[in-house]
Amino acid sequence: IGTHDFSAFKASGSNAKTGIRTIYSCEIKPMTWGIFPPSGGLHYMFTIAADGFLRYMVRNIAGLLVQIGLGKRPHEDMTDVLASKDRSSAGPTAPPQGLYLKRVLYDESEIPFNY
């Protein structure tokens, strides 16, 4: 959480001018289901809020968090990967299934036109 250069989490070949973004919050919590939970193991909700995202940034962060959660990488790797600014150090990209945009918030004073 905070303002960092997230270049290690952008898509390979990205043409973003800068990797600097601010993450305001990041939360992982187990999903709770009714009487008919889906089959196939545990499900988690990963919620992240930021001032903007690089292409595949959320999927790449999620991929690393899954590896850390499964014990395949130490938790210190998150800090190390972020500092490296190297996409290849972040590991696999999480699949897009289940990923969706919930809400977009804009400061009305920054919108350059009127409706």
pLDDT band at 50 (very low <50, low <70, confident <90, very high): very high
Owning domain of residue 91: 2-32+41-99
pLDDT band at 115 (very low <50, low <70, confident <90, very high): low
**What's the number of domains the chain is made of?**
1
* Residue 107, SS3 per DSSP: coil
Q: Taking residues 87-111, what's their average pLDDT?
A: 84
E strands, the chain, where?
2-5, 20-30, 44-50
Residue 47: what residue type?
Answer: T
Q: Taking residues 10-20, what's their average pLDDT?
A: 89
**Considering the domain boundaries, does residue 107 fall inside one?**
no
- Alpha carbon of residue 87 to chain centroid: 14
* Residue 109, SS3 per DSSP: helix
**Cβ atoms of 87 and 9 closer than 8 Å:** yes
Which position has the token pair 């070949």?
Answer: 13
CATH of the domain at 9: 3.30.70.660
Question: What per-residue confidence (pLDDT) applies to 43?
Answer: 79
Residue 64, phi then psi, degrees to nearest 5: -70, -40
